[in-house]
């Protein structure tokens, strides 16, 4: 099964992608995680992405499309994957369609996690607080200033994908304000036994 999780920053895409991947034996592909790993490792991509990510802006289409094209061509992705954080622009969505088409496959569904804008800031502040409490390092972009930029990028660049996938008949919308386990239950219900 090939799925996309779509939604604004703080919607819970990462949380749901991780548990859904475990439940269904799928590979979770998070461009955010991959880029953070590249920054940490100090690779060329990491060096190009670091400042943009910190400010909350979008890394270039060329870079993320390249990362995803390489990754989904690996054998472990043949059984299926969940994209979390990709695509984020119409150009990325079109590139993904072409990529899947060239492999003779298609997306099964795009799951949109719908959340209340006002809740996003407090969710992200909570995440930062919990990370500190657990002794971890807060993400460089988990602060009010970068979140504003991330939200703008979402509404400007990513939200048009809702229409794009609706028109393809792929869009399924879930209430992302429900508790985590309820969101998971709703996702399972809409995917069925497939």
In the complex, which residues of this chain contact ligand ADP (CB under 6 A)? 9-10, 13, 31-32, 35, 52-53, 56-59, 64, 85-86, 88, 92, 141, 150
The active-site residue out of 139, 148, 156, 185 is 139
Which tokens belong to 127? 């995440």
Q: Is 129 a catalytic residue?
A: no
The active-site residue out of 88, 114, 156, 185 is 88
Residue 45 or 64: the one with the smaller Cβ distance to ligand ADP is 64
Q: At its nearest, how many Å lie between ligand ADP and the CB of residue 51?
A: 10
Residue 31 or 186: the one with the smaller Cβ distance to ligand ADP is 31
Q: At its nearest, how many Å lie between ligand ADP and the CB of residue 192?
A: 27
What are the residues whose beta carbons fall under 8 Å from the beta carbon of 144, sequence distance 6 or more? Answer: 121, 125
Residue 123 or 171: the one with the smaller Cβ distance to ligand ADP is 123
- How far is the CA of 121 from the CAs of 8, 28, 126, 145, 174, in angstroms? 11, 25, 9, 10, 20
Q: Is 139 a catalytic residue?
A: yes
With contact defined as beta carbons under 8 Å apart, do 100 and 107 qualify?
yes
Find the helix packing angle between 61-72 and 44-55, rounded to 10°: 120
| Spatial separation of the C-alpha atoms in residues 55 and 49, rounded to whole Å | 10
| Spatial separation of the C-alpha atoms in residues 138 and 22, rounded to whole Å | 25
DSSP one-letter string for 35-85: HHHHHHHT-HHHHHHHHHHHHT-PPPHHHHHHHHHHHHTSGGGTT-EEEES
CB-closest chain residue to ligand ADP: 32
Q: Is 36 a catalytic residue?
A: no
Residue 11 or 109: the one with the smaller Cβ distance to ligand ADP is 11
DSSP, collapsed to helix, strand or coil, labels residue 113 as strand
Residues forming beta bridges with residue 113, ordered by sequence position: 174
Q: At its nearest, how many Å lie between ligand ADP and the CB of residue 124?
A: 8
Q: Is 47 a catalytic residue?
A: no
Q: At its nearest, how many Å lie between ligand ADP and the CB of residue 53?
A: 4
The active-site residue out of 2, 13, 36, 123 is 13
Residue 125 or 189: the one with the smaller Cβ distance to ligand ADP is 125
The active-site residue out of 2, 36, 123, 150 is 150
Catalytic residue set:
13, 88, 127, 139, 150
């Amino acid at each position: 099964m090939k799925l996309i999780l779509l939604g604004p920053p703080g919607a819970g895409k990462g949380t749901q992608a991780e548990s859904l991947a475990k439940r269904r034996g799928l590979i979770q592909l998070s461009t955010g995680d991959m880029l953070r790993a590249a920054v940490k490792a100090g690779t060329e991509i990491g060096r190009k992405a670091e400042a943009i990510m910190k400010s909350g802006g979008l890394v270039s289409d060329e870079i993320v499309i390249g990362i995803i094209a390489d990754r989904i061509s690996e054998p472990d992705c043949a059984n299926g994957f969940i994209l979390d954080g990709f695509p984020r622009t119409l150009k990325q969505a079109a590139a993904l369609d072409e990529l899947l088409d060239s492999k003779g496959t298609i997306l099964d569904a795009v799951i949109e996690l719908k959340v209340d804008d006002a809740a996003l800031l407090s969710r992200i502040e909570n995440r930062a607080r919990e990370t500190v409490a657990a002794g971890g390092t807060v993400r460089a972009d988990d602060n009010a200033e970068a979140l504003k930029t991330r939200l703008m990028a979402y509404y400007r660049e990513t939200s048009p994908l809702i229409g794009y996938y609706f028109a393809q008949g792929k869009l399924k919308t879930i209430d992302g304000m429900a508790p985590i386990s309820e969101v998971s239950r709703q996702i399972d219900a809409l995917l069925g036994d497939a």
